[in-house]
Amino acid sequence: MDHYPHPLIAREGWPFLAISLGAALLVTGAAGLAWASPLWLVFVFCLQFFRDPARPVAGDARSVLSPADGRIVAIEPLRDPWLDREALKVSVFMNVFNVHSNRSPVDGEVRQRWYHPGKFFNADLDKASTENERNALWLRTADGQDVTCVQVAGLIARRILCYVDAGSRLVRGQRYGFIRFGSRVDVYLPPASRVKVTIGDKVAASLTVLAELP
């Protein structure tokens, strides 16, 4: 089980929940439930969006876990733009109904972090990986394998949150960030990695093994 102290609802959502609940209660008291029903729907949406369940951690030291809940939208060999190397990219698309906590795919040290401002295309599109706002972590495992994990903003997502920097050490399944509202995460792996998922698969952060490192 991961060690993040889970309150069930992510701390990133507390202001949204407080505001939407307060507005719903205020309008309910002043004008009745019928008038307040849209505000209650907003509150329920925020409640489900910011849920943050504790998760068991799958695999072993060679396993690359999904860093996000969602659906596999890309598995392709290409050049890692962050480390300038040949790599295998696996991309997870997160819709607004997925849990949006991001978790480390491997055990390793953060060697570097990059933030790149950009556009807000639909995160389901391939060009989102190169043109949207994004935050990348270069992770190096104990045996020297390099993995790049990139948070990518989407059409609705306007805020990437990352709580680690160069020098931080992460373990598989450890929570390191959050993206609001709908996005994707790209993972760049060594080319010889053995992928365990296929396009269209639904995956869960820290529960699904995306690949095995060589």
Residue for token pair 């959050």: 178
2 and 55 Cβ atoms separated by less than 8 Å: yes
Tokens of 212: 């095995």
Question: What distance in Å separates the CA atoms of residue 164 and residue 166, rounded to the nearest whole number?
Answer: 7
C-alpha count within 13 angstroms, C-beta hemisphere, residue 108: 26
Q: Which residues pair with 119 in a beta bridge?
A: 132
User: In what order do the strands lie in the sheet containing 202-203?
Assistant: 169-170, 108-116, 134-140, 146-153, 183-189, 85-94, 70-80, 202-203
Q: How far apart are CA 52 and CA 59, in angstroms?
A: 21
Active site residue 183: yes
CA-CA-CA-CA dihedral for 75, 77, 185, 110, to nearest 10: 140
Give me the catalytic one of 66, 101, 129, 183: 183
Q: How far apart are CA 81 and CA 88, in angstroms?
A: 12
Distance, CA of 28 to chain centre: 35
The residues annotated with a catalytic role in the active site are: 183
